[in-house]
Amino acid sequence: MRYEAPDSIEAAVSLLAGEAGKARILAGGTDLLVQLRLGHVEPDLVVDIKRIAATQSITEEAGGYRIGAAVSGAVLGEHDGVRALWPGVVEAVELIGSTQIQGRASIGGNLCNASPAADSVPALVAAGAVATIVGPDGRRDLPVEDVAGGPGKTVLAAAELVESILLPARPAGSGDAYLRFIPRTEMDIAVVGAGVNLTLDGAGKCSAARVALGAVAERVLLVEAAAAALIGTPVDDAALSRLAEAASAACRPIDDKRGTKDFRTRVAGVLAQRAARIALRRAGRG
């Protein structure tokens, strides 16, 4: 196995493009190193992207923030600007692993590991985040909900990699939140995750909303019906009940060692509703 740590995105792309065997990208390594140690992957080339400046920076852009793919949870969590604008995204990233893991685990890695249970992804999807992808044919932007193709698989072409993720600007009266269900209090994988992002207009009605669910399908779901349950309403108990119903209705989970279909379906509604209440508070209500 060859290890390379290029200092430009172009060099990374050309290393990936030039590899005839299997190549893997290393950001924080909190997923990849575990897979290597368990013998689940045996790559010929590992490309470490942490020396590429663009993957390590957080910059303001058009009223939002562009976050490098290799930015760790710990760094993101200390960024006052991102915390203030997208608290739900930050709380989701900070749920990944432990304090030690937070020092390494990256937002781009969490996205590209393509686990349906990834904690940061429902929050990013709810936020309407966009991934900037670089490959042999140049740059392209892709909404984060379209990055994962299925468990452990992305839609990225060979030699493509995520350079950064853009969290957009948002109007006043907005709030977001992420909740996950785990049987323990930490060091666990989401049995269900729910991210909610909403905006209230001057009259207190919901003018925009996005709802995303994790661990209830083969990839993170953007649930438009759940958002529709909120839009145009004062986000009262009736609307929140409809949100919960719509969220549960969108689930198509599996039974596995981490949870049952029935449990995941039901708890998805519960969490979506609870996350919406927090988002509502952050939007200035209550």
Binding segment for another protein (CB under 8 A), chosen from 63-71, 140-148, 176-184, 219-227, is: 176-184
Alpha helix segments (H runs only) across 38-169? 73-77, 80-85, 87-94, 99-102, 107-112, 120-127
CA distance 127 to 121: 10
Question: Which residues is 212 bridged to in the sheet?
Answer: 195, 222
Q: Does the footprint of another protein cover residue 286 (CB under 8 A)?
A: no
Binding segment for another protein (CB under 8 A), chosen from 4-12, 112-120, 161-169, 256-264, is: 256-264
12: part of which helix (H) or strand (E)?
helix 9-18
Q: Does the footprint of another protein cover residue 42 (CB under 8 A)?
A: no
Specify the residue, 51 or 266, whose C-beta has the smaller distance to another protein. 266
Q: What is the SS3 assignment for 22?
A: coil
Question: Per the structure block, which two tokens stand in for 92?
Answer: 């989701």
Question: How remote is the C-alpha of 100 from its chain's centroid?
Answer: 20
Interface pick for another protein out of 10, 262, 281, 284 (rule CB under 8 A): 262
Among residues 127, 99, 97, 121, the alpha carbon closest in space to that of 108 is found at: 121
Q: Does the footprint of another protein cover residue 188 (CB under 8 A)?
A: yes
Under DSSP, the state recorded for 105 is -
Q: Does the footprint of another protein cover residue 249 (CB under 8 A)?
A: no
Q: Does the footprint of another protein cover residue 237 (CB under 8 A)?
A: no
Interface pick for another protein out of 205, 266, 277, 282 (rule CB under 8 A): 266
Interface pick for another protein out of 20, 39, 80, 236 (rule CB under 8 A): 39
109: part of which helix (H) or strand (E)?
helix 107-112
Instruction: Quote the least distance from Cβ 156 to another protein, whole Å.
Output: 26
Instruction: Quote the least distance from Cβ 271 to another protein, whole Å.
Output: 8
Phi–psi pair at 84, nearest 5 degrees: -70, -40
Amino acid at 190: A
Interface pick for another protein out of 164, 258, 276, 280 (rule CB under 8 A): 258
Amino acid at 267: V
- Using CB under 8 A, count the residues that bind another protein: 20
Q: What is the SS3 assignment for 197?
A: strand
Binding segment for another protein (CB under 8 A), chosen from 17-25, 77-85, 205-213, 266-274, is: 266-274
User: Which positions touch another protein (CB under 8 A)?
Assistant: 39, 181, 183-189, 191, 256-260, 262-263, 266-267, 270
